[in-house]
A = this chain, B = another copy of it.
């Protein structure tokens, strides 16, 4: 685990939804936890309207606070987004770890489970993905805890590949390249679904978990039919 500067940063689903944004008059002068309140409002706003539309003034407005107050807790708008991106990576890591924990057997199955969890997380939080992987945070290196959280997520896949190789269940070869292949697969599928590129035929909802399962399975088994 990496040290996190955002000490009480909430991690997505684990965040209890605040009852209702209090109107300014109803509230004490000091908010008490404005930093997290702003983050939660921003998160909800991003989930609803997308990240591009996010404005700090609007977030403050919805939180029931003057728009200048955010600057007591964040040096800039970008730093708010960086924090949100960081929380996204923490949530993604948690989701993968949880999925892996339920697959106690075959290391290959564990890797696949992590991949499916990746897709599931991304499809459920498409706008969050945009903050994590888009260009809203221009230079990630200015936010070391963000980089740490992102690295941590990658390392879930990487270590599963390593374990799989050690157990003889995953193809040998450069561990990082194999992990990258796995990552790229699920990342691509996630974004194709999340950005609406995939039109499915027939009625009903797109069952993204079944799709992810099929695609991840195809990658495990390989697309070619030749002898090994």
Residue numbers in B under 8 Å from A192 (CB-CB) = 180, 183-184, 187
A214 within 8 A of B: yes
Point out residues on A near B: beta carbons under 8 Å: 50, 52, 108, 111, 130, 133-136, 140, 150, 154, 168-174, 177-178, 180-192, 195-198, 211, 214-215, 218-226, 228
Residue numbers in B under 8 Å from A222 (CB-CB) = 171, 219-224
Contact at A225–B181, with CB atoms within 8 Å? no
CA–CA, A135 and B50, complex, Å: 9
Contact at A225–B170, with CB atoms within 8 Å? yes
Residue numbers in B under 8 Å from A190 (CB-CB) = 188
Contact at B225–A191, with CB atoms within 8 Å? no
CA–CA, A225 and B52, complex, Å: 43
Known: A170-B223, A188-B188. 9 other contacts (CB 8 A): A133-B191, A135-B195, A169-B225, A181-B214, A181-B223, A182-B223, A185-B188, A188-B189, A188-B191
